[in-house]
Amino acid sequence: MSKISYLNDKFINFKDAKIHVEDRGLQFGDSIYEVVGFVNKNFIDINFHFQRLRYSLKELGIKYNFDNKKLMNIFYQLINKNFLKNGLIYLQITRGVQPRNHVYKKNLKPTVIIYAQTKSFNLPNKKFKGVKVISYPDLRWSRRDIKTTNLLPNILAEKIANKKGAYTSVLIKNNKITEGAHSNIWIIKKNIIFTHPVNTDILKGVTRTALELIIKKSGFKLNENSFTMNQFFNADEAFLTSSGSLVTPILKIDKNLVNDGKIGKITLKIAKLYFEKFSNENLKN
């Protein structure tokens, strides 16, 4: 559990981190966020996170300019102040505080919330594991490419997944899989890797972005097209990706086993390549 957090330019005790009752992030979900993984105190795909953060701020018109190095310094201080080695940094930026009104005022001062928490990652070693997922309707708003805190549909989907003993939910729109409730979804068929194209139907995952480059460099064939539930059921392999899950094999969806419930060879190879990539980058830093 985090003991020290960062709120509006100050490091304070986590239990004392409070925001105003009329903060627009609280009342309207008028805010964006990022979740950054770190292993051995080194950040994973940090530059991709900063790129997406700027994109989300720009798309919502939230006026917050930041310097990569200064923000990374805050992250490092939180890791050290909380005596963490492996975990996640949570960063949220709201539009700010004003009397409750749907129309926001210009030049509001954003609220900045940052804290760290410990996490054990699913790494491609002897303990590498696959997961069960369920299908669920995609009920989210139409700008899923912006990483906002408007996550109620995701929460409802994850509660159902939890009740059914599943790791997460896979979201379906017009019989096509868009993505997971907090991940991007991939299938493999006849050595071809499929995942949904980048558009407003999905969030451009940071791990997805990094993995796309790895896949192309490694000689695998990548097909960025949406796929149906039947294609998922008939896939040779499947996996999901996110900053918290990294590359995690999918062994079962609903009542259907994938690859007889075993981790596939290509999935394992991709997971190892990704792990090697961020491990090597950390060694350089």
CATH of the domain at 142: 3.20.10.10
Residue 123, domain member (yes or no): no
Q: pLDDT digit string (tens) for 240-259?
A: 999 999 999 999 999 999 99
Is 155 in the same domain as 275? Answer: yes
pLDDT over 90 at 285, yes or no? no
pLDDT over 60 at 237, yes or no? yes
Q: Annotated catalytic sites, by residue?
A: 147
Domain that holds residue 38: 4-118
Query: How far from chain centre, in Å, is Cα 21?
Result: 27
Q: What is the DSSP letter of 260?
A: G
- Structure token digits, residue 119: 């996490």
Phi and psi for 123 in degrees, rounded to 5?
-95, 150
Q: What value does the mean pLDDT of the chain take?
A: 96
What SS3 state is found at 267?
helix
pTM (2 decimals)?
A: 0.95
Is 105 in the same domain as 138? Answer: no
- Listed residues 68, 86, 118: the one ending a domain: 118
pLDDT over 60 at 284, yes or no? no
pLDDT value, residue 283? 56
Residue 124, domain member (yes or no): no
Read off the pLDDT band of 144 (50, 70, 90).
very high
Read off the pLDDT band of 51 (50, 70, 90).
very high
pLDDT value, residue 282? 63
pLDDT value, residue 241? 98
Stretch 206-216: mean pLDDT, rounded? 96
